[in-house]
Chain A
Amino acid sequence: MRPGTAIEVRDLRKSFAVPSSDSRTLADRLKGPVRRGVRGGLPVLDGITFDIETGEFFGIVGKNGSGKSTLIRILANIYGVDSGTVDVRGKVAPVVELGVGFNTELSARANVVLGGVTLGLDRRSIEGRVDEVLEYAGVAGFAEMPLRNFSTGMRTRLAFAVSIEADPDILLLDEALAVGDSDFQERCLNELERRRDAGKTIVLVSHSIGKIRQYCDRAMLLVDGEIDAIGDPDTVGLAYHAHQTNANRQAHRAAGATDGAEVESVEVVGADESGSVPQTGRLEVEVVLKMLAERPRAGARVELRSGDGTVLFTVSDIGPEGEALRPGDRVRVRVSAENPVTPAEYQLGVRALATGPKGNPYTDSQVEWTFISIEGHGSREGGVIEVDSDFEFDVTPGGAAGLNGSSASATDASRDREVGAR
């Protein structure tokens, strides 16, 4: 292995046997020899090559079925490979799921040992540290209680404590942290960051681009068992996003549909080089469209999504009719939209629209994604929408006098509003 790498994967191929569906019943089997599933049936990983450096927080993203769970199981030596090689340096602990090996009938103490040994720890070394693990999980007072009496939260904390206790050189996490509340997840990720800072290698499989961007040093996007993008988590995140949102579009294109126009560039007006814009009244975007075919009209659609992918708003318009647009023509579109969001990171998606050769209906192009960061100091108490609000206070003194007496400082207007709110 090259010095400095924790994992080296070379031309890794893996496929799963697909049971041939025509010989499943007994009657079918009696008619002919038993047909086994054919190895090489369903390719899951199609010749991938990459390195993970020692001390790196590495993210793997991809849709369901992209091969990421299979990959992490291969890295953990749970599945074998069809061809290619995987080299690792140091002790690997896979956390495919939290609490693997736990037995709910046994005490927390017994489960720490059981879970630790299942993860690859030496029994003696974990037996000596059971109390510390229980302490870390915050369940030290329940060491002898059967695990079935634990709350889900306690169980999850214990399971994570055991995984961390394994203190491997390489920790593989397969969405295991998708369980538990967000506070717990954050604590876990922060702990993982500390391990990374201490020189350990962390590999995290996640659906959440937000987490990948926040914690990972590098990331990789898997699409249909191939590496689609690898490197900077922001770039990989955008590629992942583009893939998710353009899947339909690609299906159309495969069916022979052509785009009338494409997005050539997107510029957020007033943004600095890191993509940050101040939180002002309006969000302004300048889009340049390039015509790919002769079309009567072209336009743009802009959407804003929160970090978890929720669409916050979509606005679109199509330009006025004029002389037909020809291939190679550029159309500059300036979009100005009300900006109702709280300061945070968002994803801005832009599509090119073009009416069909004979007018409507129009087709849209692939989405171009950029991250934007809204800077400001709005009401950061949660939520994504910044709303204009007023508070008025109306104190009614207690006691009999208060019942008929008029309130101390209320205006008629505010009382009306109060009633209305009920």
Chain B
Amino acid sequence: MSAVGARPAAQIERRLPGPSALGEGWRRTWEVVRLNAVADFQQRYAGSTLGYLWTLIRPITLFGILYVVITQIFARFTDIPFYGSMLLFNIMLFTFFSEAVSGGLRSLGTGQLIRKAELPVIAMPLSTILSTTITFGTNMLVVVLWILIAGVEPTATWLLLPVVVLLLVVLTIGSSLLLSALWVRHRDVTQAWPSISRLLFYATPILFPLEVVPEGVLEDLQSVNPLAPIIAEARVWIIDPSAPGWFADRGTFAALLPIAIGIGICVAGVLAFNRRARTAGEEI
């Protein structure tokens, strides 16, 4: 045990500021985030035989079903180059977003921790997002391997994959902050998210690449969905350089709309979370 002896009287006086999103600062926040993310990662699959593999099996199953239904039953998109690779890649990106937000939005309730210890409140959503990101990173290695086997030629733009991941993580954090701030007083968010997520799945060029989406409601939804530009550009960079990119397909001005919405979500998320962090401990 630590010595119960004398210690230098360098005791800091401080006026308690109350809880906040960042608490005592970035350094402690990062420490708490990292430790909790690792703990979360380790415990998530404790006691299950296949463990981590489940995070691969789930999206691959979804991919398998959709691939068979679309290319064999409806016999569509067989002329799109590397449709299978694109579908798997897109599903992996989307599943990450959907699962990370789902975990992040209810993270303030985890173990009632924020009402038992002085923690930077933002560490709660950030640590579940980080632990999902660790899984996602390893999943991406599998996907890249798959894409290579499927015959996709590696290009210089593959180096942009981290940018794709980064953009996705930023949007995930922004959405999680906004939804978890709402969750404190409106638990309906938990119930609403699966439906929102399902809607986003179809409003993102995952199954239906940009060039096959007809004018109408689906295209309109894509035009305001901040996930759409990320997924569309990622396809051009990683899977098929000849595919139409987001800007090429929409024209510069319209293309900026979902990006602006994405930035708006992130800003609103930070502001709402920062505000709610001060009382979240007593309200959960």
Q: Which residues of A contact B (CB under 8 A)?
A: 1, 16-17, 36, 73-81, 85-92, 94, 96-97, 100-101, 103, 105-106, 110, 113-114, 117-120, 122-123, 129, 132-133, 136, 146, 161, 164-165, 167, 169, 194-195, 198-199
Name the residue on A nearest B45 (C-beta): A105
* A-facing residues in B1-57 (Cβ within 8 Å): 1-2, 4-6, 11-19, 31-32, 35-36, 39, 42-43, 46-47
Q: A77-B17, A81-B18 are in contact. Are A165 and B1 (CB under 8 A)?
A: yes
Name the residue on B nearest A26 (C-beta): B188
Instruction: Give Cα distance in the complex from A290 to B14, angstroms.
Output: 52
Further 11 A-B residue pairs, CB within 8 A, beyond A73-B281, A78-B118, A90-B11: A77-B18, A80-B278, A81-B16, A87-B16, A90-B12, A91-B11, A91-B12, A103-B43, A105-B46, A106-B43, A118-B32
Contact present for A133 and B1 (CB under 8 Å) = yes
Q: Which residues of A contact B13 (CB under 8 A)?
A: 1, 87-89
Q: A89-B12, A97-B116, A117-B31 are in contact. Are A80 and B18 (CB under 8 A)?
A: yes
Counting CB contacts under 8 A, is B117 at the interface? yes
Partner of B281, one of A79, A85, A89, A169: A79
Instruction: Give Cα distance in the complex from A199 to B31, angstroms.
Output: 29
Contact present for B4 and A114 (CB under 8 Å) = no
Instruction: Give Cα distance in the complex from A179 to B5, angstroms.
Output: 28
Name the residue on B nearest A104 (C-beta): B43
Counting CB contacts under 8 A, is B250 at the interface? no
Contact present for A16 and B116 (CB under 8 Å) = no
Instruction: Give Cα distance in the complex from A106 to B13, angstroms.
Output: 36
Instruction: Give Cα distance in the complex from A92 to B115, angstroms.
Output: 16
Instruction: Give Cα distance in the complex from A17 to B43, angstroms.
Output: 35
Give me 12 A-to-B residue pairs in the complex whose CB atoms sit less than 8 angstroms apart, sorted by A's number. Answer: A1-B13, A73-B115, A80-B19, A86-B15, A86-B16, A87-B13, A88-B13, A90-B11, A97-B116, A105-B47, A119-B117, A120-B117
Instruction: Give Cα distance in the complex from A86 to B18, angstroms.
Output: 10
Q: Can you list the 4 inter-chain pairs with the closest CB atoms, starting with the nearest?
A: A80-B18, A90-B11, A105-B43, A105-B46
Tell me the smallest distance from the CB of A188 to a CB of chain B, in Å.
13
Counting CB contacts under 8 A, is B114 at the interface? yes
Contact present for B5 and A198 (CB under 8 Å) = yes
Q: Which residues of A contact B39 (CB under 8 A)?
A: 103, 106, 110, 114
Counting CB contacts under 8 A, is B79 at the interface? no
Instruction: Give Cα distance in the complex from A146 to B113, angstroms.
Output: 20
Tell me the smallest distance from the CB of B204 to a CB of chain A, in Å.
29
Contact present for A194 and B2 (CB under 8 Å) = no
Q: A103-B39, A118-B119, A119-B117 are in contact. Are A195 and B4 (CB under 8 A)?
A: yes
Partner of B118, one of A76, A114, A161: A76
Q: Which residues of B contact A110 (CB under 8 A)?
A: 39, 42
Contact present for B117 and A100 (CB under 8 Å) = yes
Q: Which residues of B contact A81 (CB under 8 A)?
A: 16, 18
Q: Which residues of B contact A133 (CB under 8 A)?
A: 1
Q: Which residues of B contact A94 (CB under 8 A)?
A: 116-118
Q: A110-B39, A167-B2 are in contact. Are A96 and B18 (CB under 8 A)?
A: no
Tell me the smallest distance from the CB of A327 to a CB of chain B, in Å.
50
Partner of A79, one of B11, B19, B36, B43: B19
Instruction: Give Cα distance in the complex from A98 to B15, angstroms.
Output: 26
Contact present for A199 and B19 (CB under 8 Å) = no
Q: Which residues of B contact A136 (CB under 8 A)?
A: 1
Counting CB contacts under 8 A, is B279 at the interface? yes
Tell me the smallest distance from the CB of A108 to a CB of chain B, in Å.
13
Counting CB contacts under 8 A, is B282 at the interface? yes
Instruction: Give Cα distance in the complex from A86 to B185, angstroms.
Output: 27
